[in-house]
């Protein structure tokens, strides 16, 4: 992941629980043809222990870098290239602000992974999502961009290297363009946007509103050919 890149970037989020080896191979091939920039691997809740296998297979099928998108300290694997060290700054759950990070710190230090401190901000995507349930936090209302902007500013002032606006996997609506725009106007660090994005138009709208990186996940799980529609989006 190049946080200093001038170009817009697209990432593919892989949930190991929902992606078979055969499907993973197809996704990797589609990602290569669509010139996707990197992969994220992880999820809010992982029932099966397929994380390491998923990363190993992705390494076989693609030369793109792989970053962990962890839902817990158990989702640390040094076979990846790096990790988004997520601090859930939109919530008030101390475990996800710093508690779990303390537990994970020794393993992370020894892992050799590139560590990217990330301010994780949940935005209401129109329906209950796994991440809001598991994290026991309330998303920021989609019609309150000023709260999201102030939260992102605080994250930047604390020294976080990027902000991730997340509507949640399976959200019925993506993060609104207006909210993305206002948040971007108030920070200088890169802005990642994901959750609820189902069309190429929504990807384009996120970029036009200020997103530096757009993450695609559920759309690919539902339609393996979705990435073909993104070739002209940048």
Report in angstroms the alpha-carbon separations of 146 from 91, 185, 194: 15, 11, 19
pLDDT for 207-217, tens place per residue? 999 999 999 99
91 falls in which pLDDT band (50, 70, 90)?
very high
For residues 143-159, average pLDDT: 98
Q: Taking 60 as the threshold, does the pLDDT of residue 100 lie above it?
A: yes
The model's pTM: 0.95
pLDDT of residue 15: 93
State the pLDDT at residue 233.
65
Task: Please tell me the predicted confidence (pLDDT) of residue 3.
Answer: 81
Within 10 angstroms of residue 44's Cβ, the number of other Cβ atoms is 19
CA dist 9 and 67 (Å) reads 14
pLDDT at 234: 57
What mean pLDDT do residues 24-35 have? 90
Contact 232, 203 (CB under 8 A): no
What is the rounded distance in angstroms from the CA atom of residue 177 to the CA atom of residue 34?
A: 24
Distances (CA, A) of 42 to 74, 99, 164, 186, 214: 10, 19, 15, 29, 16
R_g of the chain, CA atoms, integer Å: 16
Q: How many CB atoms sit inside 10 A of residue 20's CB? A: 12
What confidence category does residue 231 fall into, taking pLDDT thresholds of 50, 70 and 90?
A: low
Whether the CA torsion 175, 176, 181, 183 is positive or negative: it is negative
* pLDDT confidence bin for 133, thresholds 50/70/90: confident
Q: Tell me the pLDDT tens digit for each residue of 6-25.
A: 899 999 999 999 899 999 99
Handedness of CA 34, 38, 44, 46 (dihedral sign): positive
The pLDDT-based confidence of 225 (bands split at 50, 70, 90) is confident
- The pLDDT of residue 193 is 98
What CATH architecture does domain 9-230 belong to?
Alpha-Beta Barrel (3.20)
Average pLDDT over residues 128-136: 87
> CA 86, CA 43: separation in Å to the nearest integer?
12
Select the more confidently predicted residue: 136 or 80: 80
Q: Is 164 helix (H, G, I), strand (E, B) or coil?
A: strand
Closest CA to 211 of 37, 66, 93, 63: 37
Task: List the single range of 56-60, 127-131, 164-168 with lowest mean pLDDT.
Answer: 127-131
Average pLDDT, the chain: 93
Residue 67 has pLDDT above 70, yes or no: yes
Please write the tens of the pLDDT for every residue from 162-200: 999 999 887 899 999 999 999 999 999 999 999 999 999
């Amino acid at each position: 992941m190049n946080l200093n890149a001038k170009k817009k970037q697209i990432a593919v989020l892989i949930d190991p629980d929902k992606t078979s080896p055969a499907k993973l191979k197809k996704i990797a091939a589609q990602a290569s043809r669509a010139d996707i920039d990197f992969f994220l691997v992880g999820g809010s809740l992982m029932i099966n222990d397929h994380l390491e296998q998923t990363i190993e297979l992705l390494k076989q099928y693609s030369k793109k870098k792989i970053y962990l998108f962890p839902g817990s300290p158990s989702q640390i694997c040094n076979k990846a290239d790096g990790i988004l060290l997520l601090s859930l700054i939109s919530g008030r759950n101390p475990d996800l602000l710093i508690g779990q990070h303390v537990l994970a710190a020794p393993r992370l230090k020894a892992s050799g992974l590139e560590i990217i401190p990330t301010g994780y901000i949940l935005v209401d995507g129109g329906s209950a999502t796994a991440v809001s349930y598991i994290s026991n936090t309330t998303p920021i209302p989609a019609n309150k961009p000023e709260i999201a902007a102030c939260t992102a500013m605080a994250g930047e002032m604390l020294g976080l290297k990027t902000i991730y606006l997340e509507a949640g996997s399976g959200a019925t609506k993506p993060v609104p363009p207006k909210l993305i725009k206002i948040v971007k106007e108030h920070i200088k660090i890169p802005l990642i946007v994901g959750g609820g994005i189902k069309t190429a138009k929504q990807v384009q709208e996120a970029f036009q509103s200020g997103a530096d990186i757009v993450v695609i996940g559920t759309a690919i799980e539902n339609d393996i050919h979705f990435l073909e529609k993104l070739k002209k989006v940048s």
